Amino acid sequence: MFSPKVKLDRALYETAKKYSEIAGYSSVEEFVQHVLEKELMQIEGAESEEEIRKRLKGLGYIS
């Protein structure tokens, strides 16, 4: 199955590799994927969407 590739600069790759080993990830790919997922989850609920959510949550009816 086609899997898109992302280029990292060498220094960043080496740092990611170092920390993926320390943290016990099976590969750099797994580590990078996990970090990106965490970051994206933050972004999904952030900024303008978060502001909209805040506005909506001001309604007593919605948590």
Partner 1 sequence: MKRVASQLPTIVALMLSPLAVGGGDAFAAPAKKVLVLGVDGLDPVMLQAYVNAGLMPNFKRLMDEGDFKPLGTSMPPQSPVAWSNFITGMDPGGHGIFDFVHRDPKTDSPSPYLSIAKTHSAERTLKFGKWVVPIGSGKVELQRKGKAFWQLLDEAGIPTTIFRMPANFPPVGFKGKSLSGMGTPDLLGTPGSFSYYTQNPEEVEEDVGGGEVYKVSVRNNRVKAKLVGPKNSFKQSPKKKSRKSRKGKPTEYENPETKIAFDVYLDPEEAAAKFEVQDHEFILKEGEWSNWVRIDFEAVPWLVSFSGTVKFYLQQVRPSFKLYVTPIQINPEEPVMPISTPADWCACLCEKLGYFYTQEMPEDTKALTHGIFSGREFHRQASMVFEERRRAFEYLMDEFEEGLLFIYFSSVDQQSHMLWRYSDENHPGYDPTEGLAGGIASIYQEMDAVLGRTLEAIDDGTTLIVMSDHGFAPFYWGVNLNTWLLENGYIKLKKPAQQGQHKFYGNVDWRKSRAYALGLNGLYINLKGREKAGIVRPGQEYEDLVSEIEDGLRSMRDTRNTRNGQEVISLVTRPSRDFHGPLKDSGPDLLIGYARGYRSSWESPLGEFPKQILVDNDRAWSADHCIDYRLVPGVLLTNQEITDVSPSLIDLTVAILDEYGIKPLPEMIGKDCLHSPAKRQVSAGRKR
State yes or no: residue 56 binds partner 1 (CB under 8 A): yes
Please check whether residue 23 is in contact with residue 31, taking contact to mean a CB–CB distance below 8 angstroms.
yes
Nearest CB to partner 1, comparing residues 23 and 52: 52
State yes or no: residue 57 binds partner 1 (CB under 8 A): yes
> CA 32 from chain center: how many Å?
9
Binding to partner 1, residues 12-41 (CB under 8 A): 37, 41
Q: Six-digit token pair at 13? A: 């790759």
Q: Which residues bind partner 1 (CB under 8 A)?
A: 37, 41, 44-45, 49, 52-63
